[in-house]
Each structure stands twice: as C-alpha cells, then as structure tokens.
C-alpha cells in the first residue's frame, strides 16, 4: 500500500493507494476520468494556491492542492488529474524535478502541465521546462481568463491525443481479432472462440454467440463463453432470446442496456450486437456485466462483431465447399464403380462372344468326326454280337462312355452358342421350378439334402422351357454337390417390379473369394470331374432371355444364386 496526504480545503487527509488500482490507472486512464475536469495545483504559497483554486472552481473545475513538490508528485500519480498547474520554487522538490517525475511515470507522462512562476523568467529556465515536457508557461502576475483559456486548450489538445491513441489501440485490437479469427476455418472452432475472445477484450461476466439459419431468425447453433458457462447457461439457453433481442434492437445494429433501461433483468448491464455482413444477419453477440458500458466499449464490440461476421461467413463457405467436395468425391467414386462395372461387363461380353465363336467352331469340328466314329462303333458291336465273338466289354463300355461325354460337351457348347436355340414362347416360371423340385426331391433326400420351396404367383415371361429347366437343374445339382454332408436347398420365386426373381440358396461349403469371379468362365470348375461348362452355359441361356444371374457366397456358410428374368409386357407387343 502507498500512503499519501490529500488536501481538502484546509484539511490534510492521509489516504492509501491500492497498487492494483494504480496499475489499472496506468493501463487505461479513461477508466478514471473526472466530471467535471480535475486540476491539481502545486503551489507552496497558501495565498496563491487559494487564488488559483478559486479561479478554477469558478470556471467549473474540481481542484486539489499540494503545498510541496513531493506531495504534488504523489497526488498526481494517485488522482491522475486532467491538468497540473505547477510552481517552480517549492520546498522538498522544485517544479522542474516534479515535472521530470511526472514525465518519467507511465501513468502521468501525458498529463498536460502549465508552469505558473514569478522567478523562473530566464530563457534557459523556459528552455529547461519545455525540454522536460511542460506544455505551457505563464508568468505571475497573470490574467485569470488567460489562465483558464490556456488550461482548456491544453486539456482539449490532450483529449484529442487520447482519442487518437485510443482509436489506434482499438484498430490494433481489431487487427489482432481478425488475425485470430481467420486462423480458425472450422465453424465449430470459431463460435467457441468468439465469446471467449470478447470477454478477453471487454469487461463482462458472460458472453454468448448465436448463429442464425438462412431465414435470419432461427438459431442453428450457439455457444456461451467457457469462462462462465456454469453460472449463466440457464439465461442464455432460452431459445426465444435471440428473437427478443432482435426485436429490442429494432433497426439498430448495436445497443446497450443498463439498470434504468433493462433488457435482461437478471443482468444489470449489457450489450447486444448483430453479426451483419452486407444486408445479411449471420448471428448475434450478447455480453453482460456488473458495470455500465460506454460508447467506446460498444464501438469495440461492434468492431469485434464485424470481424466475427466475416470470419463466420468464411467458415460457412468453407464448410459448404467441404461438403460439396465430399459429395463430388462420392459421385466420382460411384461413377468410377459404374464405369469399372461397365468395363468388366464389356470385357466379359467380348470374351464370351469370342469364346462363343471358338466354341461353335470346336463343336462343328468335333461333331463331324464324332458321328462316323459312333456309327462305326455301333456297327462293330452289332457284328460282334451277331457272330458271338469274344471282346473286352469293359474297354468297349469305356469307349462308349467317353464318346457320350464328348457328345454332351458338344451339346452344351451348341446350347451356349445358340446354334440349337429354339424359339421362345410365353410361359410361367413356377411350374418349371416345381418340375425340377419334383425330379430331384427323392435324389436329394437320399443325399440328406432337404428342399424348401417358396414359390409365388408371377407374371409370364418369354422363354424356353427346356433351357430354363436346364439352368435350374444345373443350379440344383451344384447345390447338392456343395452339401456333401447334407443341408437345405431353398428355392424362392417372386415378382419384384418388372422382373421374376428366382433364388437358389444352399447351406453348403460356399465358394472361396478367389474363385467367385471366375465361376461363369468356360472350362473353369472347382469340382474334380467338372467340365466347367454348366454355369458357363447357364449364364449364356439367361443372357439369351435378356436376364441376369449373380451369386453371393461365404465359405462354410453357403451360396445364393439370383436370377432375374423380365416379365412379358403387353405394351411391348
């Protein structure tokens, strides 16, 4: 604590200076302005001091007096007067020494000082005083109106300088605010930062930001400063508060309230400011505190909100661009998958077309010598039987089986190439499935395989009964082979939209991932004795019916083959 003596009239009072308060005076003298202005008179002659006090009081000033240099310096540091009237010849510390002390102290260095003296009239005295920072010299005797005029001029000059310095500080603060806000491009980070930043720059007990939706009325998000969230969340969490504040603002962009004109009764003082960019209200800031807010603080809040509105809009645009980029990425990925799928389908179709031509040629070349071989073998067997000539029956049987196997392979090749494709007729799929189930039920039961059927009534299609029966039979037999230890084959048929959808689902060994993309390729088989033509031919038959066949499978769980066949449309006739 610092002890000083203050003079009130003819009394001398000792008063304590709180060091924190002195520091606050130093940082912002505007917090301790005097109304009316305060003049400190440092004069050791009581008569002159009383005269100066009277002159200034009649002119509407407050006056405090110090009767020596030491007291004058201490009182100036505590009171921060608007003007110091200083005599040169004083006990303890002369006027020049007081002046030096004033200019060396951060809190008093800018206080206007007028030297009123009778003794220091030499040019070197004037030079010394001006070099030490005196604002004016006045020699005794003087005219009272001249003293008042000079004092008012110096105080006006100082006020202009303070306003300029204050505006410079505000611009520096707003520049710092802009830099901090623009470092945050995420909307969530920004609306968390703004209330905290506002309380860093302005006195207050709570601050909150509200972000509006496009209609400028509904609140899409809001944040209360983390510094005071626990004690004020109930007040600021009112969803009707922004609408009430907009109504209270009217046409104004910024406004403040006090105990005399309350807005939030629970908080005696506060300010409301819109976050406006051009003609759009992006949001709102509300700050409240115990002390009243002045014009300078309201102007600073408006500047903060202007910078916050710009940063908020940038964050919204960044968020929109990010969302748009994600949508574009999803579309690109989807389009890429479609192109890859189309490319794979095209490659498969080209491959199948090439294989089809090759298969037709092979079937033709095999079929030509196959027929005389079979005929000669039949004639030879008849001749042996007629003359009762002994022969190796096992060898002959093996020859016949091999020839029959070759015939079946050629037949399947011809089925795939369409060389034996009879005309399509209007038919129903469910009876064909029922026939396949009836044909295989006993055989399946022998192999411990149950057949479960769920066949719904479906619209007819254009197709070949024999070819579809061949496809269904092939899928059923493949399912039975996959369930060596028994299981269940479920056959479903239902109409979905404009398609008949048929499913063959088994509980067998499944198909390994490395095989599943090749099961419809010709001559590719996972069975030891398979020809690799069953699914290949089935695929070609379904394509010939303008349909599709697909498979999903999981090892040791089972496989599901799904066939889609377009129904007959009367409009297409």
CATH number for position 310: 3.30.450.40
Q: Mean pLDDT across the stretch 355-379? A: 67
Has this prediction a pTM greater than 0.85?
A: no
Give residue 225's pLDDT. 59
115, 116, 117, 121: CA torsion to nearest 10: 60
Mean pLDDT of the chain, nearest integer: 78
What's the token pair of residue 538?
């089935």
Of the candidates 169, 126, 161, which has an alpha carbon nearest to the alpha carbon of residue 27? 169
Has residue 464 been placed in a domain? yes
CA distance 79 to 6: 10
Residues 157 and 15 in one domain: yes
Indicate the range of 19-33, 163-177, 181-195 predicted with least confidence.
Answer: 19-33
pLDDT exceeds 90 at position 435: no
User: Which pLDDT tens digit goes with each residue over 486-517?
Assistant: 899 999 999 999 999 999 999 999 988 888 88
Number of domains in the chain: 4
pLDDT exceeds 70 at position 87: yes
Residues 15 and 148 in one domain: yes
Has residue 328 been placed in a domain? no
Quote the longest CA-to-CA distance of the chain.
170
Q: Mean pLDDT across the stretch 421-427? A: 73
Has residue 430 been placed in a domain? yes
What's the token pair of residue 68?
């020596």
- CB-based contact 98:72 (threshold 8 Å): yes
Provide the pairing of β-strand 558-566 with 38-42. Answer: unpaired
H or E segment to which residue 327 belongs: helix 295-387
Q: Per-residue confidence at 460, pLDDT binned at 50, 70, 90?
A: very high
Q: What CATH number is associated with residue 45?
A: 3.40.50.2300
Residues 567 and 454 in one domain: yes
pLDDT exceeds 50 at position 540: yes
Has residue 342 been placed in a domain? no
Has residue 325 been placed in a domain? no
Q: Which of 417, 448, 466 is the last residue in one of the domains?
A: 417
H or E segment to which residue 42 belongs: strand 38-42
Residues 120 and 218 in one domain: no
Give residue 24's pLDDT. 42
What's the token pair of residue 32?
């301790």
Please, what is the Cα angle at 438 between 437 and 443, to 5 degrees?
85
**Percent of the chain whose predicted confidence (pLDDT) is above 70:** 75
Residue carrying the six token digits 């300088």? 161
Q: Per-residue confidence at 12, pLDDT binned at 50, 70, 90?
A: very low
Has residue 324 been placed in a domain? no
Provide the pairing of β-strand 2-8 with 11-17. Answer: antiparallel
CA distance 310 to 313: 5
Residue with the larger pLDDT of the pair 185 and 541: 541
Residues 103 and 201 in one domain: no
- Helices within 388-428 (DSSP H only): 393-417
Residues 141 and 286 in one domain: no
Residues 436 and 393 in one domain: no
Q: Which of 106, 135, 166 is the last residue in one of the domains?
A: 166
* Cα R_g (the chain), whole angstroms: 51
CA distance 280 to 291: 31
Give residue 15's pLDDT. 40
Q: Which of 417, 442, 477 is the last residue in one of the domains?
A: 417
Residues 98 and 149 in one domain: yes
Of the candidates 558, 444, 449, which has an alpha carbon nearest to the alpha carbon of residue 509? 558
Of the candidates 316, 8, 52, which has an alpha carbon nearest to the alpha carbon of residue 190? 316
Residues 96 and 17 in one domain: yes
Q: How many CB atoms lie within 10 A of CB 48?
A: 15
Residue with the larger pLDDT of the pair 185 and 489: 489
Give residue 9's pLDDT. 36
User: Which pLDDT tens digit goes with each residue over 251-289?
Assistant: 888 888 887 777 877 778 888 888 888 778 888 888 888
Q: Where are the beta strands (DSSP E) in 50-103?
A: 62-66, 83-86
Residues 265 and 401 in one domain: no
Has residue 162 been placed in a domain? yes
User: Which pLDDT tens digit goes with each residue over 98-147?
Assistant: 888 888 888 888 888 988 876 656 667 667 777 777 888 777 777 888 88
Phi-psi region of 549 (alpha: psi -120 to 50; beta: other; left: phi over 0): beta
Residues 156 and 85 in one domain: yes
Has residue 332 been placed in a domain? no
**Percent of the chain whose predicted confidence (pLDDT) is above 90:** 15
Q: What CATH number is associated with residue 556?
A: 3.30.565.10
Give residue 565's pLDDT. 95
Residue carrying the six token digits 């003596």? 5
CA distance 428 to 425: 10
Domain span including residue 12: 2-166
Which 8-state DSSP code applies to residue 571?
A: G
Residues 158 and 208 in one domain: no
Phi-psi region of 80 (alpha: psi -120 to 50; beta: other; left: phi over 0): left
Provide the pairing of β-strand 487-496 with 461-463. Answer: unpaired
């Amino acid at each position: 604590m610092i002890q000083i003596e203050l003079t009130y009239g003819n009394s001398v009072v000792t008063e304590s200076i709180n060091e924190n308060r002195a520091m606050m005076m130093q940082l912002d003298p505007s917090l301790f302005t005097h109304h009316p202005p305060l003049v400190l008179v440092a004069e050791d002659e009581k008569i002159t001091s009383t005269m100066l006090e009277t002159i200034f009081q009649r002119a509407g000033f407050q006056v405090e007096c110090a009767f020596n240099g030491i007291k004058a310096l201490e009182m100036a540091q505590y009171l921060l007067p608007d003007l110091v009237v200083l005599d040169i010849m004083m006990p303890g510390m002369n006027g020049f020494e007081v002046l030096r002390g004033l200019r060396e102290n951060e809190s008093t260095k800018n206080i206007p000082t007028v030297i009123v003296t009778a003794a220091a009239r030499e040019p070197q005295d004037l030079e010394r005083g001006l070099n030490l920072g005196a604002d004016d010299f006045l020699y005794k005797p003087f005219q009272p109106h001249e003293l008042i005029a000079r004092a008012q001029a110096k105080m006006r000059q100082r006020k202009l300088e303070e306003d300029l310095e204050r505006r410079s500080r505000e611009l520096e603060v707003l520049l710092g605010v802009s830099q901090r806000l623009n470092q945050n491009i995420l909307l969530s980070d920004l609306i968390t930062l703004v209330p905290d930043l506002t309380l860093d720059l302005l006195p207050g007990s709570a601050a909150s930001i509200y972000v509006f939706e496009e209609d400028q009325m509904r609140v899409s998000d809001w944040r209360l400063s983390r510094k005071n969230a626990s004690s004020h969340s109930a007040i600021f969490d009112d969803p009707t508060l922004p609408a009430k504040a907009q109504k209270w603002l009217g046409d104004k962009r910024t406004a403040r309230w006090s105990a005399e004109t309350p807005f939030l009764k629970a908080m005696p003082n506060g300010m409301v400011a819109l976050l406006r960019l051009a003609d759009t209200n992006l949001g709102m800031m509300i700050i409240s505190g115990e002390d009243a807010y002045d014009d300078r603080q309201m102007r600073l809040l408006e500047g903060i909100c202007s910078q916050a509105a710009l940063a908020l809009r940038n964050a919204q645009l960044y968020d929109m661009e990010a969302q748009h980029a994600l949508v574009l990425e999803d579309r690109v990925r989807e389009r890429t998958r479609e192109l890859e799928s189309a490319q794979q389908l095209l490659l498969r179709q080209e491959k199948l077309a090439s294989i089809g031509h090759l298969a037709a040629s092979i079937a033709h070349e095999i079929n030509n010598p196959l027929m005389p071989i079979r005929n000669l073998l039949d004639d030879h067997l008849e001749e042996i039987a007629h003359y009762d000539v002994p022969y190796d029956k096992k060898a002959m049987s093996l020859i016949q089986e091999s020839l029959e196997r070759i015939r079946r392979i050629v037949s399947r090749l011809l089925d795939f190439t369409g060389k034996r494709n009879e005309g399509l007729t209007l038919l129903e799929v469910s009876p064909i499935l029922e026939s396949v189930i009836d044909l295989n039920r006993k055989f399946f039961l022998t192999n411990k395989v149950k057949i479960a059927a769920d066949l719904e009534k479906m619209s007819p299609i254009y197709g070949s009964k024999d070819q579809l029966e061949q496809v269904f039979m092939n899928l059923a037999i493949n399912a039975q082979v996959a369930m060596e230890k028994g299981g269940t084959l479920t056959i479903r048929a239902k109409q979905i939209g404009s398609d008949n959808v048929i499913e063959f689902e088994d509980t067998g060994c499944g198909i390994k991932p490395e095989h599943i993309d090749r099961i419809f390729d010709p001559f590719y088989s996972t069975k030891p004795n398979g020809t690799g033509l069953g699914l290949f031919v089935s695929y070609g038959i379904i394509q010939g019916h303008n349909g599709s066949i697909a498979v999903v499978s999981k090892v040791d769980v089972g496989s599901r083959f799904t066939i889609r066949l377009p129904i007959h449309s009367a409009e297409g006739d």
